[in-house]
Amino acid sequence: MELIETLQSLGLTQYEAKTFASLVAAGTATAYRASKLSGVPRARIYEILESLENKGLVMTEEAGGSKNYTSLPVDVFLEQQKQDWERVYQTAKSQLKQLENKQPEKAHYVSTVTGTESILSFCRTLIQNAKKQILLSMWDPMYSELLPEFLEKAEQHCRIHGIVFDVDQPLEGLICHRKNDYMSSLSANKWFILSVDSSKLLYGHAAEKNEKAFFTDDSVHLFLLEDYIWHDVLVNRLVEKGDQKQLDDWILPEMERFFDQKMVPDSFWEKDSGDPETS
């Protein structure tokens, strides 16, 4: 049960979590009824109730020769947990920052970030800490996942520039990559680049692929990948000002010759074979 697992993550044992949840649902109950509702063995229920009482999560009342147990009101419980978490968070933050500041200056490095949630969390932290500029190259749906953070930084007048893929209405400062068969063939292998203030960089597989991304503050990585974003933006702006078909017909064969391998799907050329101007 998800609720029991959540309560356990807050520091309760499994039996304590079951008993507390049962008391929340019942309102007030005797030990016998709490045992029946929670599934906690009667041989353990008094011990568990006493433990919850010592933790301040259960209140007791003597009535008619029997002892009744009532859970702490949910709002009070949640506020208590919130305050406890905040104290733990602030203590951990303070102590970890002190340790971090004591470390000797390290050489530049590239570290690996693995998994959807880790990549998205890393991106959100970088975006939230951006002061002046965010440069990005990113496909949807990862862009949509991070859009609330981008919007917040845009409202703070942080400059957001770059290029996005499969996005209908990108933020001002972002352009949408032109669509053709070649770009469609790349959609199964989506990537992203996120550079913040030209000082921190995260790039790799799109978050939803649940694979790997790479973080670095190395100046060479930053220059190369920011320059890649700029060149992608530049080519797309040139295409916008000219004839997309004419430029693609020149750019894509040149790309194949440069890399000495076939990269453009046959469908790109087949669809134009019947064009009177190209026949």
Which of the four pLDDT bands, split at 50, 70 and 90, describes residue 236?
A: confident
H/E element, 134: strand 133-139
- DSSP character string of 135-189: EEEEETTHHHHHHHHHHHHHHTT-EEEEEEES-SSPPTTEEEPP--HHHHHHGGG
In this structure, what are the phi and psi dihedrals at residue 55, rounded to the nearest 5 degrees? -85, 0
Q: What is the mean pLDDT of residues 185-194?
A: 85
* Residue 128: count of CB within 10 angstroms of its CB: 12
Residue 55 has pLDDT above 70, yes or no: yes
Give the bridge partners for 59, in sequence order: 70
The percent of residues above 90 in pLDDT, for the chain, comes to 52
What is the pLDDT, as a whole number, of residue 244?
A: 65
For the chain, the average pLDDT equals 86
Residue 50 has pLDDT above 70, yes or no: yes
Residue 266 has pLDDT above 80, yes or no: no
- Greatest mean pLDDT range, 32-36, 61-65, 250-254: 32-36
Of 25, 88, 89, 28, the C-alpha closest to 58 is 28
Of 192, 175, 187, 188, the C-alpha closest to 236 is 175
List the single range of 67-71, 114-118, 197-201, 209-213 with lowest mean pLDDT. Answer: 67-71
Each residue's pLDDT tens digit, 121-142: 999 999 999 999 999 999 999 9
Which residues lie closer than 8 Å to 175 by C-beta, 6 or more apart? Answer: 162, 163, 164, 233, 236, 237
Residue 278 has pLDDT above 50, yes or no: no
Which contacts (CB < 8 Å, 24+ apart) does range 200-204 have?
Answer: 200/126, 201/225, 202/113, 202/119, 202/122, 202/123, 202/126, 204/113, 204/119
Which of the four pLDDT bands, split at 50, 70 and 90, describes residue 46?
A: very high
What is the pLDDT, as a whole number, of residue 276?
A: 43
| Rg value, the chain, Cα | 29
Q: What is the mean pLDDT of residues 25-31?
A: 89
Residue 184 has pLDDT above 90, yes or no: no
Domains of the chain (ranges; CATH) run: 2-72 (1.10.10.10), 111-243 (3.30.870.10)
What is the pLDDT, as a whole number, of residue 279?
A: 31
Q: What is the mean pLDDT of residues 176-195?
A: 82
Of 140, 142, 141, 135, the C-alpha closest to 160 is 135
Q: What angle do CA 223, 229, 234 make, to 5 degrees?
A: 120
The percent of residues above 70 in pLDDT, for the chain, comes to 89
C-alpha–C-alpha distance, residues 183 and 63, integer Å: 74
Which of the four pLDDT bands, split at 50, 70 and 90, describes residue 157?
A: very high
**68 exposure class (CB count in 10 Å sphere: 0-12, 13-18, 19+):** middle
196 versus 248: the higher-pLDDT residue is 196
| Whole-model pTM over 0.85 | no
C-alpha–C-alpha distance, residues 215 and 229, integer Å: 17
H/E element, 213: strand 212-216
| Per-residue tokens: 260 | 């000495």
Mode of pairing for the β-strands spanning 159-165 and 174-176:
parallel
Which of the four pLDDT bands, split at 50, 70 and 90, describes residue 272?
A: low
